[in-house]
Amino acid sequence: MDMSYTPDQIAFRDEVRRFIAEAMPADLKHKAENGGHYEHAETMRWHRILHEKGWSAPHWPKEVGGTGWDTAQRHIFSEEMTRANAPSLSPFGLTMVGPLIIQFGTDEQKKRFLPRILSGDEVWCQGYSEPNSGSDLASLQLRAEKDGDDYVLNGQKTWTTYAQHADWIFVLARTSSDGKQQEGISFLLADIRNTPGIEVKPFLTIGGTPAFSETWFDNARVPQANRVGPENKGWTMAKALLGHERTSIGGVAESGRLLRMIRRIARDTRVAGKTLMDDTTFRRRLARLEIRQRTVGMANLRTLAAAQLGHAPGPESSILKTVGTELQQEITELAMDAMGHNALGWFDSPTEAMPEYQLWMASNFNYLRAATIYGGSNEIQKNIVSKLILGLPQ
């Protein structure tokens, strides 16, 4: 694989870099420079800025509002967005359900949902996991029973990320108990704000953020027209969507950003007149993580190249999810080691107590403890790799 950029690609990178520098509002730029945490409203402001430019969905086909960029352009754009510490747009609409509707949705569904996902006028969340159905997702029990033109939903979802901000939720629901567990699941789209019987209850993570919610369904009515794909074939939809999710969870660009942050911490940390970058052991640890990050980046490029040829993410996305999330955890562990006593700080610590750009590191470290679990635990991903890639008996 040729990793060198052509003159056109270098020009495109300069264009992206220049746009970010000119388009990012001053208050967001301050947060970007200091590694701050973006609130939902700030992320949506950046979404609208990108949408106005026509860049909110780099990986969508041009005919439905995407950019029409090739793999290299999308990779460059992602790298530059992360390099600038720009807000990361919510993946649930743009990266997950949007591509699924493009692939499997009806013409009416595409017309209804895609423009609003693209513009950010409607925010989405994911309803997959349940209190007793996480890694074993096929055991889910949220019921969807037909009544007239609707499904009536009863049950509970958990770990619904930022559901308190969402307008819509895509859910896996059990529409049949016949046959294998996977055969009785359907993929439904529900209006979370305007459907009576849907209640969202946020709760705090160990990182101190209200990132997750419990979502309850009590006789909530969802039109059958909001089912994506055939009834009882939602597991096919789920696997396709999880492929997109696991690829993004690998967080290649985010790992690169964190590694740059560690270098900044190391340069700012002085002991006896020397910085951490003068310490051979520290440099060795950092170099090993940077090499691994580049390796994962190569694997991610292969996945992007396959997607450009029209192939949905396959079991290879489980490799990216496994090694990418483990790498994220090791990187944040090194960051905490590098920060020393500042690692005891928190995002609400006074700025005079520690550098502003370090305030969110401890919270991020705690949040990423769950990275090897959400999106399908890494143990499950290793089973997928052994069965579908290595061909080992189960």
- Catalogue the active-site residues: 245
Q: At what angle do helices 280-308 and 71-83 cross, to 10 degrees?
A: 140
Length of the chain, in residues: 394
| Run of H or E including 186 | strand 185-191
47: phi then psi, degrees, rounded to nearest 5:
-60, -45
In a 10 Å sphere around its CB, with 0-12 CB exposed, 13-18 middle and 19+ buried, how is residue 38 labelled?
middle
Quick one: CA dihedral 49, 53, 55, 56, positive or negative? positive
Rounded Cα–Cα distance for residues 108 and 28 (Å): 37
Quick one: tokens of 195? 């459907």
Quick one: tokens of 172? 């896996």
Quick one: tokens of 305? 């190249």
Rounded Cα–Cα distance for residues 77 and 54 (Å): 13
